[in-house]
Structure 1
Amino acid sequence: MKVLVCIPCLMTGGTEIQTLNLVRALVTGGHKVLTVCYFEYASEMVSRFQQVGSEVICLSKDGSRIGGWKGIIFLYKGLRKILKQYRPEVAHVQYMAPGAIPILLLRLLGIPKIIATAHTPADIYSSLRLVHFVQRHCVRAFTCITELAERSFFGTSQLYTEQAQLKKRNHFTIYNALPAGISISKQAKKYNQPLTIGVVSRLETIKGMDLVVPAFAQVKASHTEMKLLVVGDGSLRKLMDEQVYEAKLEEAVEFTGQQPQEKLSNYYDRIDILLMPSRSEGFGLTAIEGMARGCVVVASRVGGLPEVVRDREVGLLHVPEQIGDLADKINELVEHPLLWKQYSIKATTYVQRFSLAQYIKLFNNLYNKI
Structure 2
Amino acid sequence: MTILVCIPCLLTGGTEIQTLNLVQALVSGGHRVVTVCYFEYSEDMVARFRRLGSEVECFSPTGVRIDGWRGILFLYKGLRKALKRYKPDVAHVQYMAPGAIPILLLRLLGLRQVIATVHTVADIYSNLRLVHFIQRHCVRAFTCITELAEQSFFGNSQLYSETTLLKHHNHFTIYNALSPAFSILKKNRKFSSSSIMIGVVSRLDEIKGMDLVIPAFARVRAKYPDIRLIVVGDGSLRAHMQQQAQDLGCDDGIEWAGRQPQERLADWYSRMDIVLMPSRSEGFGLTAIEAMANGCVVVASRTGGLPEVVRDREVGLLHVPESIDDMADKIGSLVGDITLLQHYSEAAMMYVGKYGFERYSQLFNDLYKRLISVNR
Q: TM-score, normalised by structure 2?
A: 0.97
Inter-partner Cα distance in structure 2 for 1:73 and 1:220: 55
Structure 1 unmatched ranges of 5 or more: none
- Aligned equivalents of 2:123 and 2:206: distance in 1? 18
Partner of 1:251 in structure 2? 252
C-alpha distance in structure 1 between counterparts of 2:189 and 2:43, whole Å: 36
Letter of the structure 1 residue corresponding to residue 254 of structure 2: V
Return the offset for 1:246.
1.4
Q: Does 1:26 align with 2:26?
A: yes
**What is the CA–CA distance in structure 2 between the aligned matches of 1:186 and 1:256, rounded to whole Å?**
27
Distance 1:268 1:169 in 2: 40
Within 5 Å, give how 1:78-89 maps onto structure 2: 78-89=78-89
Show the counterpart of 1:220: 221
Alignment of 1:163-312 (within 5 A): 163-192=163-192, 193-312=194-313
Which string of whole-angstrom CA distances, capped at 9 and with x for unpartnered residues, describes residues 211-257 of structure 1? 11110111011111111111111111111111111122232110011
What amino acid is aligned across from residue 221 of structure 1 in structure 2?
A
Cross-structure match for 1:367: 368
Structure 2: how far apart are the matches of 1:189 and 1:156? 38
**Would you say how many aligned residue pairs link Structure 1 and Structure 2?**
370
| In structure 1, distance between residues paired with 2:58 and 2:187 | 42
Letter in structure 1 aligned against 2:46:
V
Displacement of 1:187: 0.9
Partner in structure 2 of residue 66 of structure 1: 66
* Matched residue type, 1:155: G
Distance in 2 (CA, whole Å) between partners of 1:204 and 1:131 is: 28
Q: Secondary structure, in 3 states, of the residue corresponding to 1:321?
A: coil
Bigger mean CA offset, 159-168 vs 27-36: 159-168
- 2:374 alignment counterpart: none
Distance in 2 between residues matched to 1:337 and 1:250, nearest whole Å? 25
Counterpart AA for 2:202: S
Question: Which stretches of structure 1, 4 residues or longer, exceed 6 Å deviation after superposition?
Answer: none
Aligned position for 2:317: 316
Deviations 1:109-143 (A, max 9, x none): 11111100011111111111111111111100000
Q: Distance in 2 between matches of 1:287 and 1:182?
A: 12
Corresponding position: 1:43 with 2:38: no
Structure 2 CA distance, aligned partners of 1:206 and 1:43? Answer: 26
In 2, the alpha carbon distance for the partners of 1:273 and 1:123 equals 28
Q: Which residue of 1 aligns with 2:107?
A: 107
Q: Which amino acid aligns with 1:240?
A: M
State the Cα deviation string for residues 160-188 of structure 1 (Å, max 9, x = none). Answer: 11111211110010000012222111111
Q: Using the TM superposition, give the Cα deviation of residue 42 of structure 1 relative to its aligned residue in structure 2, in angstroms.
A: 0.5
- In 2, the alpha carbon distance for the partners of 1:367 and 1:143 equals 12
**Using the alignment, how far apart are the partners of 1:19 and 1:152 within structure 2?**
22
The alpha carbon displacement at 1:80 in A equals 0.6
Give 1:237's aligned amino acid: R
The farther-off stretch of 188-197 and 49-58 is 188-197
Partner of 1:130: 130
- The aligned amino acid for 2:19 is T
Counterpart check, 1:336 vs 2:337? yes
Separation of aligned partners in 1, 2:79 and 2:251: 52
Equivalent residue, structure 2, for 1:157:
157
TM-score, length basis structure 1: 0.99
Gaps of 5+ in 2: 372-376
CA–CA distance in structure 2, aligned partners of residues 83 and 248 of structure 1: 58
Hey, what's the Cα distance between the residues in 1 that align with 2:163 and 2:50? 32
Q: SS at the partner of 2:266?
A: helix
What is the rounded CA distance, in whole Å, between the counterparts of 1:166 and 1:57 in structure 2? 32
Deviation string, structure 1 residues 21-65 (Cα, Å, up to 9, x no partner): 000000000000000000000100000000000000000010000
> How far has the Cα of 1:194 moved from its partner?
1.1
Deviates more, 1:42-51 or 1:190-199: 190-199
CA distance in structure 1 between the aligned counterparts of 2:307 and 2:327, rounded to whole angstroms? 15
- Whole-angstrom CA distance in 1 between matches of 2:80 and 2:10: 21
Aligned equivalents of 2:154, 2:241: Cα separation in 1: 40
